[in-house]
Structure 1
Amino acid sequence: MSDHQDSVDTALIERRRRLLGASYRLFYRQPFHPVRGEGVWLFDRHGTPHLDAYNNVACVGHCHPRVVEAIATQAATLNTHTRYLHETILDCAQRLIDSLPPPLEQMVFTCSGSEANDLAVRMARAFTGGDGLIVTELAYHGVTQSIAEASPSLGSKVRLGQAVRTVPAPVDLGDGAAAMGTRFAAGVQAAIDDLAAHGIRPAALLLDSVFSSDGIITGPRGFLGPAVDAIRRAGGLYIADEVQAGLGRTGVMWGFPRHDVSADLVTLGKPLGNGHPVAGVVGRRDVMDHFGETSRYFNTFGGNPVACAAALAVQSVIAEEGLVEHAATVGGKLHVALNQLADAHPRLGEVRSAGLLAGVEVLDPAGSPDAAFAQALVDALRERHILISATGPHGNVLKIRPPLVFGPEHVESLGGALAASLAALAD
């Protein structure tokens, strides 16, 4: 049966419009209606499999049986808050802390990446005594009030906070990590100076370690160092937002150490629970201690036994299935395949990738960003039962971010479908 929109989906779309708030959006010209997930596949209600090359939240694959079993077993045993003693939260925190580099020593759990980033900013402001927050020009860090005000990708109608400054995303001109880092740090320093001119002390530089909303910027490795040095000289902290980069996505366990920098605070999101609501902040002991002494914080179900059982299962699957190494190996094949396509098709530009995260620029015949053609490619791939999205300041960067169990055969399928879509749209 064709999966073109039929009366059932039309009725469902109308019901959404009637029942859900106006802020909800659907992907794709032809909306997708999945009813079941397994590994890298999402199945629509007709049973048609769709290759998921987009959904990073289900990082170890949709409905992984180990994670499902851990959630179900713990939910059938006990689920309550963190003011009672329980081993699972400690086991989960220990395993995460052990996987991160010094000086990260303590953890606070939340339910979402938005909450984690909100809490990290509160911690930085409490520790430094400053309010200023620096983010990139198209950053996305979450949807709480304070973090929405530091997420310019939400659109111009969501106003930035008075203590928030944006800086241009890093730009690779092919002159190496040092030059790229110098350029990016100059923007950070200008933001620090502007905050000072308005009597605002800087609290933190908050960066998504792969700049996913800014168009996916993954290298060259090492360019973050000068910007991190700049914020620390000004008395602020560096917060590494690892919601998208972490847990093996880039072919290493965490994104920020790829740049040979240390973080003062690290934030995690729902990939930690394969979609189950568990997230958190890992930080320096002195920052955590100061916050605990000066602020009252309690998250009723952040770090509950079911959430931590899910997170422990995810970490076990990543280790036992070798998914970090797998992401590096398959990501290398993905990079080669995308570069081959870009070499063959003038409408594709630069390929930026690390592990199983890739961005591909889409250009018009004159070589300028082409958001309309990028969206046409996204929709054409959806017609061929492959799911990706688009990102970047011009909306022209194909965003490929599959579950970590994505394999070489899936790279081949994606590459073939992208080539066919390019050919069809050119005709």
Structure 2
Amino acid sequence: MQDIAARRARLLGPHMTTFYREPVHVARGEGVWLWDTEGRQYLDCYNNVPHVGHCHPRVVDAIAKQAATLNTHTRYVHDAILDYGEALTAKFEHDLESMMMVCSGSEANDLALRMAQVMTGKTGIIGTDNTYHGNTTAVSQLNSSKLPIGGYQDHVRQVPAPDNMVPVGGSREGQAEAFAKGVEKAIAELEASGHGVSALIVCPYFANEGFPTLERGFLDRAVAAVRKAGGLIIADEVQPGFGRIGSHWWGHEKLGFAPDIVTLGKPMANGHPVAAVVTRLEILTAFQEQFKYFNTFGGNPVSAAAAMAVLNVIEDENLISNAADVGAYTVDLLHDVASRHEVIADVRGSGLFFGAELWRDGKPATKLCSLMVDEMRERGVLLHSEGRHDNTLKIRPPCVFDRANADQLAETLDAALEAVT
């Protein structure tokens, strides 16, 4: 491992991210399982990229067959991107009928921001103060973990993010109103500064914020304020989308609002680099008239085939129902574990996106959470941390996760907490 670490540091930079104190040197994957180069097996409870399971044979077959037939860019006409576009947009219950395929969620969010600015003629952007939307210059202005060089630009406003343990406004009951007041304050500042409001961008599951428990309608007042100011609503569905939350295909459906633009990424093609922006035709047209935009790899036939295979597997294997059933079962198990470990202050989640927040002595237990992540890795279960203080265990497995996997997770978590605390 020392040789690998040295090579990574030299070739990829000394701060290239890895998980765990002792990184996992992966060799292969199948379903919910990963194996390292020494043959050790791990239960993958964190990786939402292989949405339908690592190396799903139907996705692998679709990629291989299309790669053996044709792969080119979208300046040539091919059916695959159209077939996929029709299948994908049919999953939305309102007027999102057009799409642009790209290669990453960062690209998708960058395009979404530009679309909103073109459509509104304004530049102001509102996000939360504990979020992540990608790595381009534009979206890095929204990220809370690293301050951009020169600080945040004047057209960006960050509003306090919702939270279960320390809710905005002081109570969960008043949190929606308090969040909306933050948005309204940001709108007033952007209008006073001459930027105006082009968009509010949120993950509708507030995943990086720690996935707090929010009621349907939570965003209604905030959305209404943005629309009154002439802005658009962007839903970043990179993490909650494609049925992961169990109750709906998309996170915005669960919260009960209709975004103007939706961005997609990570799970879209099970690891093949595919992402997209889905929007109304008028918005896409306005963007195309303003920018000469072309993406060499976005929407190529192989990517489209991989993405279509994922859609088909989700439906044919009833993975949304599985997410609902197994997710609820697992959250019950986590509540049972919490009853034996007082450091678990809150258990929450929806579908196969859930976790446990750790507190000790009235404070976020950040160090303990970090120790737990590594302890679970040592015991053969992979998960990670999330939230403002990195004190929430974040569990987000492939959507083929089953009840037996949930039993293993809970038993391992119980034992790990006993060992660490």
Question: Normalising by structure 1, what TM-score?
Answer: 0.95
Equivalent residue for 1:162, pick from 154, 161, 166: 154
Larger mean CA deviation between 406-415 and 167-176 belongs to 167-176
Change in Cα spacing, 1:171 to 1:425, as seen in structure 2 (3 Å) is: closer
Deviation of residue 156 (structure 1)?
Answer: 6.6
- In structure 2, the residue matched to 1:401 is 396
- In structure 2, the residue matched to 1:6 is none
CA distance in 1, matches of 2:128, 2:7: 37
CA distance in 1, matches of 2:25, 2:369: 22
- In structure 1, the residue matched to 2:56 is 64
Deviation of residue 341 (structure 1)?
Answer: 1.6
Contact 2:366–2:389 (CA under 8 A) maintained in structure 1: yes
Equivalent residue for 1:301, pick from 287, 290, 297: 297
Contact 1:152–1:158 (CA under 8 A) maintained in structure 2: no
- In structure 1, the residue matched to 2:179 is 184
- In structure 1, the residue matched to 2:76 is 84
Contact 1:149–1:164 (CA under 8 A) maintained in structure 2: yes
The 3-state SS of whatever aligns with 2:98 is strand
- In structure 2, the residue matched to 1:4 is none
CA distance in 1, matches of 2:112, 2:179: 23
Identity of aligned residues (%): 47
The 3-state SS of whatever aligns with 1:332 is helix
Q: Is the counterpart of residue 31 in structure 1 residue 23 in structure 2?
A: yes
**For this pair of structures, how many residues does the alignment match?**
417
The 3-state SS of whatever aligns with 2:394 is strand
Contact 1:114–1:147 (CA under 8 A) maintained in structure 2: yes
Contact 2:373–2:383 (CA under 8 A) maintained in structure 1: yes
Contact 1:110–1:116 (CA under 8 A) maintained in structure 2: yes
Contact 1:177–1:223 (CA under 8 A) maintained in structure 2: no
Contact 1:177–1:220 (CA under 8 A) maintained in structure 2: no
Per-residue CA deviations over 1:178-230 (Å, capped at 9, x if unaligned) read 73321211111111111122221110000011111111124222211111111
Structure 1: any 5+ residue segments left out of the alignment?
A: 1-8
Alignment RMSD (CA, Å): 1.6
Equivalent residue for 1:140, pick from 132, 136, 146: 132
Larger mean CA deviation between 292-301 and 266-275 belongs to 292-301
Structure 2: any 5+ residue segments left out of the alignment?
A: none
Equivalent residue for 1:285, pick from 277, 281, 286: 281
Contact 2:48–2:266 (CA under 8 A) maintained in structure 1: no
- In structure 1, the residue matched to 2:237 is 242
Contact 1:149–1:158 (CA under 8 A) maintained in structure 2: no
- In structure 1, the residue matched to 2:256 is 260
CA distance in 1, matches of 2:93, 2:151: 35
Deviation of residue 46 (structure 1)?
Answer: 1.6
Contact 1:110–1:280 (CA under 8 A) maintained in structure 2: yes
Equivalent residue for 1:416, pick from 391, 408, 411: 411
Larger mean CA deviation between 305-314 and 334-343 belongs to 334-343
CA distance in 2, matches of 1:367, 1:254: 35
The 3-state SS of whatever aligns with 2:90 is helix
Q: Is the counterpart of residue 152 in structure 1 residue 144 in structure 2?
A: yes
CA distance in 1, matches of 2:142, 2:171: 29
Residues 116-131 of structure 1: pairs in structure 2 closer than 5 A = 116-131=108-123
Change in Cα spacing, 1:195 to 1:221, as seen in structure 2 (3 Å) is: same
Per-residue CA deviations over 1:97-153 (Å, capped at 9, x if unaligned) read 000121211111111100000000000000001101111111100001111111123
Deviation of residue 171 (structure 1)?
Answer: 3.5
Equivalent residue for 1:362, pick from 346, 358, 363: 358
Larger mean CA deviation between 214-223 and 237-246 belongs to 214-223
The 3-state SS of whatever aligns with 1:210 is coil
- In structure 1, the residue matched to 2:5 is 13
Contact 1:109–1:278 (CA under 8 A) maintained in structure 2: yes
Instruction: Give the letter for the 2:363 counterpart.
Output: S
Instruction: Give 4+ residue runs of structure 1 displaced > 3 Å after superposition.
Output: 154-159, 171-179
Change in Cα spacing, 1:56 to 1:345, as seen in structure 2 (3 Å) is: same
Q: Is the counterpart of residue 222 in structure 1 residue 214 in structure 2?
A: no
The 3-state SS of whatever aligns with 2:216 is coil
Deviation of residue 22 (structure 1)?
Answer: 3.2
Contact 2:232–2:260 (CA under 8 A) maintained in structure 1: yes
CA distance in 1, matches of 2:213, 2:68: 42
- In structure 2, the residue matched to 1:322 is 318
CA distance in 2, matches of 1:290, 1:352: 41
Deviation of residue 177 (structure 1)?
Answer: 7.9
Question: Normalising by structure 2, what TM-score?
Answer: 0.96
